[in-house]
Amino acid sequence: MSYLNLNLDREFSGKRIIVTGSSRGLGAVVCEALAERNAKIAMFSRSKKEMDNLKNKLKNPKNHISIKVDLLKNNEINSAIKKAKNFLKQIDIVLHIAGGGYGLKEKLINDLDLKKLFQINIGAAAEINRLIVKSKKKNHLLKLIHVGSIASNEAVGSVGYNTAKAALAAYVRSLGRELYNNNCASCHGLYSDDLVRPKLISFPNKLSKLEEIQTDPMRAKAINSQLIKHLRDSKFEGVHAERTLGYVGTILDGVWATAPYLHNGSVPTLWHLLFPDKRPEKFLVGGHMLDYEKVGILHDKDDYLKYKKGYQPFSLPVIINTNLPGYSNQGHEIEFSTLTPKEKIALIEFLKLI
């Protein structure tokens, strides 16, 4: 779960979006804001009448569809997703706004009511995510956004609501932790199971050969016998140097603040690292803002050679050109090549914690 101040113009303009819980309240307000930014919306709610009334008030009503669905019933969720796919053709964003406490405020909530809250707040969202992510038409830019209130974060909501939303946060982070353990820990170290502040508990100091990691080889090949002799004869005692033709994976503590990534700084964000086909050839670095969603350097929406409009860098930026010798942005891809877009985003959510 991301706790982000998303910029509507930057993130949502012209996108094709599913919005759950869209007939009233926050969902309706969000639909109005998205429509003003020329988004195409598939609205999900139990009340077809309220959605149709809202749709007719939105900018360009024909760009939107209202789909009646009871999120307590998986067969209706499946049908709704099919209708949304047929209408939108491609899904860019899913905004999970449906949920809440449903007026169930008993401190000693019974199991049936608790199951209901879990289904509406997490079960339905997990099923929607699964149906969209498993689609044959992959969208590597897909965003899955789960919305919760400050009431659940501060535990001032009802027992049932707080419990369900806490489970949702744990669902995303736990998935990311398991993905990290299965795909990253063998090189970058194993972290504790703490989902608030994981701590490094072991580090393998593992060497990955160039043919395995397939990142730019220039730095590894630059370690020759002459350089090794200079290192061993230096004033620093106990220096051990040898030609390995490979790289050792680094410890990832504070990785959110260490962009750009790879050993040669050729990838601007963790998102680009996990989606190799989207890595830019050139980008600006230095005096930059942090991108808390993709985790790394925040650039202008469509131009990696510009920062966000109006932002004044605190130091002189330079251009990283990955076409130059030593700056290739290729490699480190096999490790997560089997992950779905949803799993990659969950992995990024876990990496934000360490």
> Rounded CA gap, 353 and 201, in Å?
15
Domains parsed from the chain with CATH numbers? 8-183 (3.40.50.720), 202-351 (no CATH)
Is 60 exceeded by the pLDDT of residue 135?
A: yes
Pick the closest to residue 248 from 330, 187, 191, 203 (CA basis). 187
**Phi/psi at 254 (nearest 5 deg)?**
70, 25
- pTM here? 0.63
Interior angle at CA 13, CA 11 and CA 14, nearest 5: 125
- According to the model, what pLDDT value does residue 13 have? 87
Is 50 exceeded by the pLDDT of residue 183?
A: yes
- According to the model, what pLDDT value does residue 281 have? 96
**Phi/psi at 197 (nearest 5 deg)?**
-145, 80
**Phi/psi at 113 (nearest 5 deg)?**
-70, -35
pLDDT in tens, 37-80: 999 999 999 999 999 999 999 999 999 999 999 988 999 999 99
Tokens 């000693």 sit on residue: 108
Tokens 């659940």 sit on residue: 152
pLDDT in tens, 138-158: 555 677 787 765 544 544 567
Q: Quick check: helix, strand or coil at residue 246?
A: strand
Query: How many C-alpha atoms does 305 have within 13 Å on its Cβ side?
Result: 5
